[in-house]
Structure 1
Amino acid sequence: MKDFLDILHHEFELPLSNPVMVFALILLIILISPIALKRLNIPGIIVLIISGIIIGPFGFGILEKSSAIDLFSTIGLLYIMFIAGLELDMNQFKANRNKSFLFGFFTFILPLTIGFPVCFYLLGYDFNASFLTASMFATHTLLTYPIVSRLKVSKNEAVAITVGGTILTDTAVLIILAVIMGNHEGTLNVAFWQRLIISLAIFSSIIFLVVPRIAKWFFTKMETEKHSHYIFVLFVVFIAAFMAELAGVEPIIGAFLAGLALNRLIPHSSALMNRIEFIGNSLFIPFFLISVGMLVDISVIFSGPTALIVAATLSVVAIFGKWLAAFFTQLVFRYSALQRKVIFGLSSGHAAATLAVIIVGYNAGIIEENILNGTVILILVTSIVATLATERAARKLAVESKEISATELKNSRAYRSETILLPIANILNFDKLLEFAILIKDKTSPNPVSILSVVPNNEEAELNIARATEKLDDFIKQASAAETKVNILAAIDHNVASGIAQKSKEIIADLIILGWPTQKGLMDKLIGKKMERIISANSKTSFVTYFSRPLATHKRIFTIVPPLAEKEKGFSFWIKKLDLLAKELSVPVVISSNSETYAEIKKILKELKTDSPFKHKKFAEWEDFLILGKDMLEDDIIVLVSARKGGVSYQPLLPTIPAKLEKYFFNKSRIIIYP
């Protein structure tokens, strides 16, 4: 019995050393802390940081910093930066890159300009110590990015330029750190700059030229191995972080650039994206936030007036510098007060890069203990300020954007939730069809994607329905992984076309997505008979699709629009769907049409306030349709906007084009739209 008690005493001796107990305790904190303090309206990020203070070595000493906690903390920080790069709307980022550069300049130069005189003249430190401490004010960690991600405002322009500016300012600060260290050690020479520039150039080339090609190859060859996609993504994140360190910058820069490199290959509504966010927000990021709290030593405040004065001065300068940068950004770009507050909230949190700068400076003897302790207090203060500011502003911004969406919806002709119907014909290619439906689905619609199986009306009808439903289990899991509801429907009818038409009326479908016919033979007859029967049997907007490769590996949407297409009833609907697909895949859209039709398309795009790049190419030679082949690229999705017989834009040539697409562009992905 005594041996058992001794073992028990050893296992629960503080600080806890058993890795299983340590992991279990942190998971318990992640689980109950936000729930317990939710009623007090304290944001979850602050709760986790405070929990880290309580259990850390400077609190009750339940846990101490260890290699395991450091590992999970590093993973969490890299995850935050990676998700920030992955969620960035690349079309918006490209359109606003100059704004990101200007904000990066403001958030770097203003804190540095304010901080240096304060440290040099007011606190009395030497040049190296003052400049290094002032550069620390310019850094910021996207501690509160999970808040804007959770509240679905990460696509807002203010968020995009802040994320872009973060990388610019942190990179500049880390280069300053290297310069000051070189100056302190006497190694600041031409060889230093040559080594830094060459290593950064090699690293950037690998990330933006090599990694996307490898990722594209991997996602294409291992298309069915969904679980391996996540492991591959994690590998890319950590190898990029390691290479960034070799290149002379912080690993967080590598993680962010990895997110940018994979951005176009991981659609925002995909199952893979959902897995990445779920695991990060559930486990790794909370670990990082708790570890930030474990760094805070509250006793510093009571160790004497000097430590308190330094801590207070550093905190005030850091917060004021970031507020000033956000204010100037608001003035220059005419942002709203809410957008300014979001920029301030995202950019005012200090943790990773800040700590890296100060610890390196402290170990090198450039700065003293008071600055180190003051920086730890600064991390706590700015974390709380950043969290409260971001939570309040992002919540109001989310409400505001939802109100705008609701107003637009009420003003639209179809004031109801969208419903998509997927009739199943060939289960072999159905996964791509379902993925396409998930990507273009209206995210505000609560209606599920309806999968329809039409079976013949005979003695085995019920058995055939059961078999069809059983085969769809994997696709239900695929949709669930992307947090999309799926509804399985069945229709008993001798005629497939009438079965689809009847069910589309019953569920009031807005869009029918059909797979391209796979039978071999004369495509003229195939499209003209089998598919046209389905199209003509209903009046719903219909997409007939074929994807030769994974959706995320396409680089452009090449759209061919006939004259008078703007007169068709579903004109604005298919434009919205193309815009949504372009955003999900981060690709441009080329419209081949006459000038009159494109002018109407531009009006719709203006109403949508889209950032997707739409380009126009004049085209009127419908008799020589194949001439468009010279403008098509290998990775294009070819979209043909067709018309039903009797439609305003219908012309006799249209029914012959699908056969030409099949014959001459058989290796390309293609979509035929019937408005």
Structure 2
Amino acid sequence: MLYFYLLYVSSTMDNIINHLIEEFQLPLHNPVLIFSLILFIILLAPIVLHRIRIPGIIGLIVSGIIIGPAGLNILEKSLFVDVFSTIGLLYIMFIAGLELDLNEFKATRNKSLMFGFLTFAIPISIGFPVCYYVLGFEFNASLLTSSMFATHTLVTYPIVSKLGVSKNVAVAVTVGGTILTDTAVLILLAIILGSHDGGLTTEFWVHLGISLVLFSAFMFLVIPKIAKWFFKKLESEKHSHYIFVLSVVFFSAFLAELAGLESIIGAFVAGLALNKLIPHSSALMNRIEFIGNSLFIPFFLISVGMIVDVSVILSGPMALIIAGTLTLVAVFSKWTAAFFTQIIFKFSKGQRKLIFGLSSAHAAATLAVILVGYKAGILDANILNGTVVLILVTCIIASFATESAAKEIIRNSNEDDHLQLTSKTNNETILIPIANLINIEKVLDFAVLIKEKKSNNPLSILTVVPNTDEAEKTIVKAKEGLESYLKETTASDTNATIMATIDYNAASGISRTAKEIMADIILLGWPQKTGFLDKLIGDKMEGILQNTEKTLFICDFEIPLVNHKKLVLIVPPNAEFEEGFAIWLNKIAKLSLELSIPVHLNCVEETHQAILKFAKDNKVTLTVNYFYFNDWDNFLALSNMFGDTDCIVLVSARRGYISHFGQLDRIPVKLEKYFPKLSKMVIYPQ
């Protein structure tokens, strides 16, 4: 009996193993397995590449190259992949039209039209001769490739927004010019495809003209009215709004094809038609961007990588020459357009660099145009592969150029707003998230000392409870554990309140609560050591840094606050240009005054003068002993200044902000490693 049972188990295991071998034969054919693999790539690629600071768009394309037919041959081109790829392509163009700020375009329309003309005409004027005469492409291939140089994607706009120069006229001109150049390129694409299919006959021009008029009339006159009626009649059916928008996008793409245009033109026009009906901060816009960025667009980027054949690039010098030439022409032509825009409108050097940085990145629109040309047989694999190299290089160049230009504009600004204390300090709100009760007393003492006495808002002590079946009981226990500490704040005439929130992730709970109570300052205890997986995905501290923009104090007080003899303040260059400069400096001044201890300031002379100016302008008492310091590679040289009863205060910065540089990210680890017994504090300004 046992024999037959073992035989049955063995047979079953063999069947399972054979089934697994069959399912995992390359390339994969099981739709469920394919979809699972794609989702894992979409999930993990950006997370891993973010840690090594590679743009997500590049990571997804590279992933597609690896799993594609020319890579490990895990996936092959199929109807399943093509459908999702097409959806992603249309989605990209739809969002491009939807996100354009039409009001901003109206305000600077003359300058935007001029820049749009220059950034469209100059790349084509330079690119076409190079492609036709130097690289030897056919006429249509040369024209389509040069039109690709004219497109640009505002990949680096978040940098501008983060650094606070988004209101600069150079940004408005560049964003507005995007409307003209992208629209012109898409129309040119329709003409090139028409020429490739049947020639530019009189019949073609008449058909194109009538099609454009009818299509535009329907999209801009009929669709907005239907959408307005639909949103009004089904106001409570929020999920229906998103389905309606998707229906409009794909029906518009179909109508564009009926009109003899390319489907991506229909999706782009759908975005423009619905632009005013979907506010940028609305829940519907959030759903559109969330689903697109989470699924459809990454799927498209992976499918683009699957088309790329690395062997073609490495097959000989010609492929590398094409890739290098395309990249060089793209960068040079966009710089030339920015240069002439600067001359015509008498912009500053920083504004010219900003226009170049914003308009030099080639990504979504470039991929869309080149992919359509490749599928139509106008462009070959060399151009497609060269375009991928171009996207990689231009995105990197654009990121550095935009950041450098934005910082230059901030430095050259005559405004001193960042040196002034605002009236909002009278309504200051301080949030104190508590993970454990070990150092709560010292953190609360610190909060009491730096809190504005004029502010009636209490200190908000927060505990984040995991979302489990025992969440309610845990909240009660956490509140009971914190109650005893409220007596200390009450004794100092400082009100405090205990808050509790439920969240699967502590960083998310803290960030959400900070927004809900409109906290100005967040006080955190020193982070626990984290493992490899935490570092890979992002630990709690980094999650809070990324999801909140408020001033952050990370504290580790090894001795009671009153026992400290001095504050060793270390400040990076350009810290005076950060928005939160006045906030943290005022708190350090209050701490120094309350404890009657001096501040040993280590920074460059420009920052020193800004600190003195702040103290004078705001009538703040600040006892400073100044020491010049700018050798951040040799940070440990400051250790001679640290005494056992000192508190080290490092002013850091979030990535991408004006005072941030690479060494800053490594210094907190050095503080923990070499000075574990000293009190220390790391500040991330607003």
Q: Could you say which TM-score interval applies, normalised by the shorter chain?
A: 0.5 to 0.7
Displacement of 1:218 = 1.2
| Contact persistence 1:58–1:296 (CA under 8 A) | yes
Contact 2:370 2:384 in 1 (8 A): no
* Number of the residue aligned with 1:196: 208
Task: Report 1:49-64 matches (<5 A).
Answer: 49-64=61-76
Aligned-pair distance for 1:271?
1.7
Whether 1:87 and 2:94 are equivalent positions in the alignment is no
- Matched residues in 2 for 1:297 and 1:285: separation? 21
Q: Is the 8 A contact 1:167 1:253 kept in 2?
A: no
Change beyond 3 A, Cα 1:154–1:417: farther
**Match of residue 120 from structure 2:** 108
- The alpha-carbon deviation at position 135 of structure 1 amounts to 3.6
Q: Deviations over 1:86-117 (max 9, x none)?
A: 33322211122333322232222212222232
Kept after mapping to 1: 8 A contact 2:211/2:260:
yes
In the alignment, the residues of structure 1 paired with residue 43 and residue 414 of structure 2 have an alpha-carbon distance, to the nearest angstrom, of 34
Q: Write out per-residue CA displacement over residues 433-455 of structure 1, whole angstroms, 9 at most, x where no aligned residue.
A: xxxxxxxxxxxxxx9xxxxxxxx
Residue 383 of structure 2 is aligned with which of 375, 385, 388? 375
Matches within 5 A, 1:320-399: 320-335=332-347, 340-341=352-353, 343-345=355-357, 347-350=359-362, 372-393=380-401
Q: Does 1:5 align with 2:50?
A: no
Answer whether contact 1:107 1:325 (CA < 8 A) is retained: yes
Alignment size in residue pairs: 431
Paired with 1:76 and 1:154, the residues of 2 have a C-alpha distance of 28
Q: Which amino acid aligns with 1:386?
A: T
- Aligned pair 1:414/2:423, yes or no? yes
1:201, distance to aligned residue in structure 2 (A): 0.9
Q: Find the residue that maps to 1:15 and give its secondary structure.
A: coil
Q: What secondary structure is seen at the aligned counterpart in 2 of 1:268? A: coil
Q: What is the rounded CA distance, in whole Å, between the counterparts of 1:75 and 1:149 in structure 2?
A: 29
Q: CA deviation at 1:134?
A: 3.4
Measured at CA, do residues 255 and 364 of structure 1 come closer, stay the same or move farther in structure 2, by a change above 3 Å? closer
Q: CA deviation at 1:12?
A: 0.9
Residues 188 and 308 of structure 1: is their aligned pair in 2 closer, same or farther, counting only changes over 3 Å?
same
Contact 1:409 1:415 in 2 (8 A): no
Q: Does 1:206 align with 2:218?
A: yes
Query: In structure 2, how many angstroms separate the alpha carbons of the residues matched to 1:79 and 1:417?
Result: 46
1:70 aligns with 2:82: yes
Q: Residue 64 of structure 2 contacts residue 303 of structure 2 at CA under 8 Å; is this kept in 1?
A: yes
Shift in Å at residue 9 of structure 1?
1.2
How much has 1:414 moved relative to structure 2?
A: 2.7
- Native 8 Å contact 1:33 1:47 kept in 2: yes
Per-residue CA deviation, residues 324-343 of structure 1 (Å, 9 max, x unaligned), is 22332343344555654554
TM-score by length of 2: 0.54
Q: Aligned partners of 1:169 and 1:64: how far apart in 2? A: 35
> How does 1:196-595 map onto structure 2 within 5 Å?
196-335=208-347, 340-341=352-353, 343-345=355-357, 347-350=359-362, 372-393=380-401, 408=417, 411=420, 414-416=423-425
2:475 aligns to what?
none
Asked whether 1:42 is paired with 2:63, we answer: no
CA drift of 1:322 comes to 2.5
Contact 2:353 2:405 in 1 (8 A): no
1:409-438 Cα offsets, whole Å, 9 max, x none, are 875863349899xxxxxxxxxxxxxxxxxx
Q: SS at 2:424's partner residue? A: coil
Amino acid at match of 1:292: V
Q: Are the structure 2 counterparts of residues 12 and 346 from structure 1 closer, same or farther at C-alpha, using a change threshold of 3 Å?
A: farther
**C-alpha separation in 1, matches of 2:282 and 2:367:** 35
- Contact map agreement 1:358 1:372 (CA 8 A) in 2: no
Structure-1 separation of matches of 2:93 and 2:346: 27
**What's the % identity of the aligned pairs?**
64
1:380 shift after superposition:
1.5
Instruction: Write out per-residue CA displacement over residues 490-538 of structure 1, whole angstroms, 9 at most, x where no aligned residue.
Output: xxxxxxxxxxxxxxxxx99xxxxxxxxxxxxxxxxxxxxxxxxxxxxxx
- Gap change, CA 1:224 and 1:364, over 3 Å in 2: closer
Q: Counterparts of 1:128 and 1:88 in 2: how far apart (Å)?
A: 29
2:423 match: secondary structure: coil
Letter in 2 for 1:282: S
Deviation at 1:299, TM superposition (A): 0.9
What's 1:172 paired with?
184
Deviation at 1:159, TM superposition (A): 5.2
Partner of 1:532: none
Q: What are the superposed Cα offsets for residues 339-392 of structure 1, whole Å, 9 maximum, x if unpaired?
A: 545544554455666567667767777x6xxx6232122221221123223434
- Distance in 1, matches of 2:426 and 2:219, equals 41
CA contact (8 A) 1:45 1:387 kept: no
1:577 is aligned to none
Check 1:117–1:190 CA distance in 2 against 1; reply closer, same or farther (3 A cut). Answer: same
Q: Which residue of 1 aligns with 2:562?
A: none
- Residue of structure 1 in register with 2:676 after alignment: none
**CA distance in 2 between partners of 1:401 and 1:118 (Å):** 35
Q: Return 5+ residue gaps in structure 1 as ranges.
A: 421-446, 448-479, 489-506, 509-675
Counterpart Cα distance in 2 of 1:150 and 1:293: 30
Paired residues of 1:349 and 1:382 also in contact (CA < 8 A): no
Structure 1 residues 149 and 4 mapped into 2: Cα distance closer, same or farther (>3 Å)? farther
Q: Gaps (5+ residues) in structure 2? A: 1-12, 430-456, 458-508, 521-686
Separation of aligned partners in 2, 1:363 and 1:90:
32
Change (3 A) 1:63 1:81: same
Whether contact under 8 Å (1:307, 1:373) holds in the other structure is no
State the distance in 1 between where 2:354 and 2:77 align: 32
Which amino acid is the alignment partner of residue 137 of structure 1?
Answer: F
